[in-house]
Amino acid sequence: MDNEQGITVTDLVVKRDGYRALYNVNFHIGPGNLVGVVGPNGAGKSTMFDAVAGILPITRGQVELHGIKGKKGGLAYVPQRDNINLRFPATVYDVVMMGRYCHLGLFQRIGRKDREIVKTCLDRVGLWDRRDALIEENSGGQRQRVFIARALAQEASIIMLDEAFSGVDVGAQEGIIEVLQTLRDEGKVVMLATHDLTNLAERFDQIICINRHICAYGPPKEAFTPEVLEELYGSHGLVLAHTHADGETHIETHMPND
């Protein structure tokens, strides 16, 4: 296994208030991969992201971020509930510029290069024309693209997004996926936690199925089996999958948040 770049998580255990929220979490993600993280509510998706990002203490195990040692902003994290106060009069441009401060440090001087990078990032997510709009004036999908642009402005090689589809319509979801696939094609590691199980094979290169531990990890058509569905969601999860004559498992609808 080539661990020169990407993420390696080994024997990760995380406890919260004496409760073992995660255990036996092992995976490696190399560069140029878009990975979906799926599982029911309370399965530990956000906990795992917080632990990888260094926000939550690790009880046991190891998280290695390869190829970004000493690089400011090497990992960019868009949490489920972003800490931006939507009532604060920050513009789209201001929010993306925050990514440059993450890259440079709060006391570094912002210059022409940084402004050019912010413009490029907003162009990539299709929001340069809305740069002067207040963040609260944007739709859910537009806000998510703003936060992705902020992550891009950090020049991060690893990008994690927790429930980026929450409150976002299907059309906006596809726009987000297209941006993330472009980042994948540039060699970045992109992880996206989601409850939406539709079109997994079309959207993601790999999926991590988690329910406090890793139930499966691999290409969607191989990892997302009826047995894994049952381990994730219980017996009612099986009604959402059926096996065709070609031997592939097909998902028919969305999994409700349970």
Contact in structure between 96 and 121 (CB atoms under 8 Å): yes
142 to each of 75, 95, 113, 123, 171, how far by Cα in Å? 22, 12, 25, 13, 11
More confident residue, 226 or 103: 226
Residue-wise pLDDT tens digits, 13-65: 999 888 899 999 999 999 999 999 999 988 999 999 999 999 999 999 999 98
Angstrom distances, CA of residue 40 to CA of 1, 66, 152, 197, 202: 30, 29, 29, 11, 21
* Residue-averaged pLDDT of the chain: 84
Return the structure tokens found at 117. Answer: 């990078």
CB-based contact 147:81 (threshold 8 Å) = no
Residue 116 has pLDDT above 90, yes or no: yes
Helices 112-124 and 92-104, axial angle in degrees (round to 10): 120
